Amino acid sequence: MITADVTFKAINYANQEFKNHEFENCIFTDCIFIESIFSSCKFLDCEFRNCNFSMTKLYNCQLNNAKFIACKIMGIHFNECTDFLFSVQFEDSILDYSIFIKKKLNATLFKSCSIKNVDFSECNLQKAIFDNCDLLNVIFSNTNLKETDFRTAHHFSIDPDQNTIKKAKFSIYGAMGLLNKYDISIT
């Protein structure tokens, strides 16, 4: 089933299951997807505005140029999405407790987001931008952070020995997040 160029507004899809649906150039505004299950679905050039995706499942789904603006996206396992053409963007959203393990997120924009307790292990975040994001308790392990921009991000802790950080950008204050493993105090 293919749905193209449609705007969905204020629809409650909570606890529903969708299989093999394809959405192209669709806009979802004020929709609720809490604990919904999407299996083998495609979202191509779709935008989600003020939607709630808490605990939604995305099994074998394709997210290609998917934009999330002012959304609540808690506990999502993005690592269960297909890698084919995976590209996402997040603005003013809550991504807490989500998992991106092994995802290619090159040049991904995270703008003004809460990204607490998220797992970016083994991801490629080269040239990603964390603009004004809270990265409290985020896991970076064997993560490619080359040229990644952390200048306005806060509360992050990155072990330079466990991640690739060549040419990554940090503010003078944020650079402390690179020294946390040493348990030192700089005043």
User: Any idea what the CATH number is for the domain that residue 122 is in?
Assistant: 2.160.20.80
Question: Cα(48)–Cα(28) distance, rounded to whole angstroms?
Answer: 5
| Residue 23 structure tokens | 């959405």
pTM above 0.85, yes or no: yes
- Domain tally for the chain? 2
Whether the pLDDT of residue 30 is over 80: the answer is yes
Query: Residue 172 — pLDDT band, cuts 50, 70, 90?
Result: confident
Of the candidates 36, 29, 24, 27, the one whose C-alpha atom is nearest the C-alpha of residue 10 is 29
Judgement on whether residues 177 and 121 belong to the same structural domain of the protein: yes
- 64 and 117 within one domain: no
Please tell me whether residues 51 and 107 are part of one structural domain. Answer: no
Model confidence at 7, pLDDT cuts 50, 70, 90, reads very high
At 1 the pLDDT is 85
Domain assignment present for residue 41? The answer is: yes
User: Is residue 89 one of the residues assigned to a domain?
Assistant: no
DSSP-assigned letters across all residues of 53-93: -TT-EEET-EEESEEEES-B-TT-BGGGS--TT--EEEES-
How many C-beta atoms lie closer than 10 Å to residue 187's C-beta? 2
* pLDDT, tens digit, 9 for 90 and up, residues 71-125: 999 999 999 999 999 999 999 999 999 999 999 999 999 999 999 999 999 999 9
In a domain, 170, yes or no: yes
Structure confidence at residue 173 (pLDDT): 75
Task: Tell me which residue range forms the domain holding 63.
Answer: 1-8+17-77
Task: Please give the Cα distance from 68 to 87 (Å, whole number).
Answer: 11
Q: What is the pLDDT of residues 129-167, one digit of tens each?
A: 999 999 999 999 999 999 999 999 999 999 999 999 999
Quick one: pLDDT at residue 113? 98
Mean pLDDT within 52-72? 98
- Domain-embedded: residue 139: yes
Chain centre to alpha carbon of residue 122: 14
Say if residues 23 and 42 touch (Cβ distance below 8 Å): yes
Task: Assess whether 137 and 180 both reside in one domain.
Answer: yes
pLDDT at 181 over 80: no
Helices and strands in the chain: count of H runs, count of E runs:
0, 14
Q: 106: how many CB neighbours lie within 10 A of its CB? A: 16
149 inside domain = yes
Q: Residue 184 has what pLDDT?
A: 57
